[in-house]
Amino acid sequence: MKQYHLWGQFTRNFPPIILALFTGYVAIELLGDRTIETLETISITPQPVKPGDKASILYKGRQSANCEGIVHRWIIDSKGTLIQLDDANVFRRDETAAGVFTFTKTFNVPLGLAPGTATYNANVLRWCNSWQQFLWPVRYHYTAKFEVAAP
């Protein structure tokens, strides 16, 4: 009879213990390393760009973790017109010494950009595990100014 009583206490306390362990695991995974990268420079070449041509964006920085993600990109031209660019996937990339990375992305400069100073914008969402991917990705926002030549 005594043995049954102990088993009843164990089974009654087991679900809250499992729930607490699971919640702790999720919190550690979500809050773990929230500083994945530090961008040092972002530049666009050539300068000035011409509508209809190709341009390259060069990212240089440091990363503490090699995680996947997606980049939502857009350009705001000198007249304030917002032009959406295709989203770009961020793949795990090879790291060099001390987590330094260099990444280049080429894009077609949209036709219809007004001549003058334009701003390239990128919202980056990165995740190192499934919890971060679906619940709370790491977010960054980058901008780079560049000149648009008259067509």
CATH number of the domain bearing residue 64:
2.60.40.1930
Q: Are 129 and 77 in a shared domain?
A: yes
**What pLDDT, on a 0 to 100 scale, did the predictor assign at position 35?**
62
**What pLDDT, on a 0 to 100 scale, did the predictor assign at position 77?**
93
Q: What angle do CA 83, 63, 46 make, to 5 degrees?
A: 40
The phi and psi torsions of 50 (rounded to 5 degrees) equal: -115, 135
Q: Are 120 and 108 in a shared domain?
A: yes
Q: Are 45 and 1 in a shared domain?
A: no
pLDDT digit string, tens, across residues 86-143: 898 876 555 555 577 787 888 889 988 999 999 999 998 888 777 777 777 888 898 9
C-alpha–C-alpha distance, residues 71 and 139, integer Å = 10
Q: Are 38 and 102 in a shared domain?
A: yes
SS3 per residue for 10-40: HHHHHHHHHHHHHHHHHHHHHHCCCCCEEEE
pLDDT digit string, tens, across residues 44-66: 988 899 999 999 988 888 776 77
Q: Are 83 and 10 in a shared domain?
A: no
Q: Are 94 and 59 in a shared domain?
A: yes
